[in-house]
Structure 1
Amino acid sequence: MDFAGAYSIDHLKFLLEGFGLTLYMAVIAIICSFIIGAVIAIIRYAKVPVISQILAVIVEIIRNLPLLLLIFFTYLALPDIGIKFNPIPAAIIALTIFEAAMLSEIIRSGLNSIDKGQIEAARSSGLNYIQTLWHIILPQALRRMVPPIVSQFISLLKDTSLAVVVSVPELLHSGQIIYGQKQAYLVPILLLIVMMYFVVNYALSILSRRLEVKNT
């Protein structure tokens, strides 16, 4: 094992660039998937005719597919019907679709956990359905949803490593290039990659636990 050679300035810089892309992909996917997931959850919670049933079917299909399959489909299959993405956008789109389905169930469960009596009380006080949802239901539900949502974000960050299959230059791909130069770099580089993932995910897990304690 060659730790000194593996941890050269050039190698560390290369890894950090890959990790930067990993975080970038994760942040974009987190923001987009949360917005889409929230919209889907609210539509299903409101039981909008036809649309909610269609969304329920789509969500169940996506939730039961491997994320890797979605990445392959977005990057390799869509070009056959004239929709072509570069590796990074393809990976982000696949991550967003997959995580939106997961988050929609978390958000919908949070909405359903609020006592229906509060809706009736709000409506009787003169609030319409949208006002009740925005001012009464969502604030309470969000407090309950924060820990599982953060946990899902942790999973998303780890899932970005699957983008390596379509040659996205994220952290794992950068590591493969480095230890591909010399076998002695394999263990040092993998250990460093493990540590980089661990630091970020552990920080998020601590945040999740603190928010859970705060909201109980």
Structure 2
Amino acid sequence: MVERSGVKVDFSFLESYGEEFYDGLWTTISVSLLALIFSLILGTVIAVFRISGVRLLEGFGTAYVEFIRNTPLVAQIFFVFFALPAVGIKFSQFMVGTIGLSIYTSSYIAEVIRAGIQSVPRGQMEAARSSGLTYIQAMTHVILPQAFKLIIPPLGNQFINLVKNSSVLAVIAGGELMYFTDQATTESDVTPVYLFVAVVYLVLTIPLSLLVNYLERRWMKKEAR
């Protein structure tokens, strides 16, 4: 128990829920890492679609981004959790959370990457194509590496948001940090429980923010040479 200025903050709930919080933390980290990888891949594909010059691909990319960004994450999670089993496709809560987070975050990442691609001078693509590279090769080896250097800060912000958004798994009993937080509050004072969880999320997100800042400074120094 911690006491400050006459206010008592009781952390004794950790004696009963310590193991659950550990499991929830591990689930949060695992879901976030997998969703980060999948959303980055999917977001890159959608971004390339949107600037491909092929009307069908551009239309699909635009519709995907607009639909996903303008519908709640909770609704998307519920759709994956309830609608897919109705047609015989079943996933665990862990995979539902991973898929939902990946799809939702990819729509934002796609816009970030698209902006990065459009910031690369058009002459880069023309030079790559004239040297014999296909469109995909030029995009993979020439354009995207330059684009990613330009979008490190906003891309890092999306990754941080992804970690925080993982708390939505609590609505489907996903076993992550917020799920066990809700369980602990049924038997303990709400304030210390949520205070503890807030600190845990800070421990997860602040190092990621520092890493993004480090990478940005490092690449800026390389560009300045």
How high is the TM-score relative to the length of structure 1?
0.89
Q: Does the CA-based 8 Å contact 2:43-2:109 persist in structure 1? A: yes
Q: Contact 1:147–1:211 at 8 Å: present in 2 too?
A: no
Inter-partner Cα distance in structure 1 for 2:142 and 2:74: 39
Higher relative contact order (CA 8 A, sep 6+): 1
Whole-angstrom CA distance in 2 between matches of 1:129 and 1:81? 38
| Matched position secondary structure for 2:204 | helix
Q: Among residues 193, 206, 210, which one is paired with 1:206 in the alignment?
A: 210
Q: Distance in 1 between matches of 2:27 and 2:93?
A: 12
Closer/same/farther in 2, CA of residues 115 and 5 from structure 1, 3 Å limit: same
Aligned 8 A contact 1:144 1:215 in 2: no
**Cα distance change on mapping 1:129 and 1:85 into 2, 3 Å:** closer
- Give the aligned CA root-mean-square deviation in angstroms: 1.9
Match of 2:136 in 1: 130
- Which whole-Å deviations, capped at 9, do the CAs of 1:139-166 have from their partners, x for residues lacking one? 1111112221111010000001111111
Aligned to 2:77: 71
Deviates more, 1:199-208 or 1:84-93: 84-93
What is the CA deviation profile of residues 97-120 of structure 1, one whole-angstrom value per residue up to 9, with x for unaligned ones? 111111111111111110002222
The share of aligned pairs that are identical, in percent, is: 36
Asked whether 1:151 is paired with 2:157, we answer yes
User: Contact between 2:47 and 2:61, CA under 8 Å: does it hold in 1?
Assistant: no
1:197 corresponds to which of 184, 195, 201: 201
What is the deviation of 1:126?
4.0
- Secondary structure in structure 1 of the residue aligned to 2:151: helix
- Which position in structure 1 is the counterpart of 2:145? 139
In the TM superposition, what is the alpha-carbon distance from 1:31 to its structure 2 partner? 0.8
Q: How many residues align?
A: 213
Give the Cα separation in 2 of the matches to 1:75 and 1:4: 34
Structure 1, unaligned runs of 5 or more: none
Q: Does 1:5 align with 2:12?
A: yes
Question: Structure 1 residues 197, 63: closer, same or farther in 2, change over 3 A?
Answer: same
Structure-to-structure mapping, 1:164-203, within 5 angstroms: 164-183=170-189, 186-203=190-207
Cα offset, 1:4, TM superposition: 4.9
1:75-94 to structure 2, matched below 5 A, reads: 75-94=81-100
- C-alpha contact (below 8 Å) 2:43/2:113 kept by paired residues: yes
Q: Which structure 2 residues correspond to residues 40-51 of structure 1 after superposition, within 5 A? A: 40-51=46-57
Deviations 1:160-189 (A, max 9, x none): 111111111111111222231233xx2222
1:65-97: CA deviation from partner (whole Å, max 9, x where unpaired): 111111111112333333333322222211111
Q: Is the 8 A contact 1:103 1:152 kept in 2?
A: yes
Q: CA, structure 1 residues 125+89, in 2 after alignment: closer, same or farther (shift >3 Å)?
A: closer
CA offset digits 1:4-30 (Å, max 9, x no partner): 52232x522221111110111111111
Residue of 96, 105, 117 corresponding to 1:111: 117
Query: CA–CA distance in 1 between the matches of 2:11 and 2:101?
Result: 35
Report SS of the residue matched to 2:91. Answer: coil
- How far apart are residue 34 of structure 1 and its match? 0.9
TM-score (normalised: structure 2)? 0.86
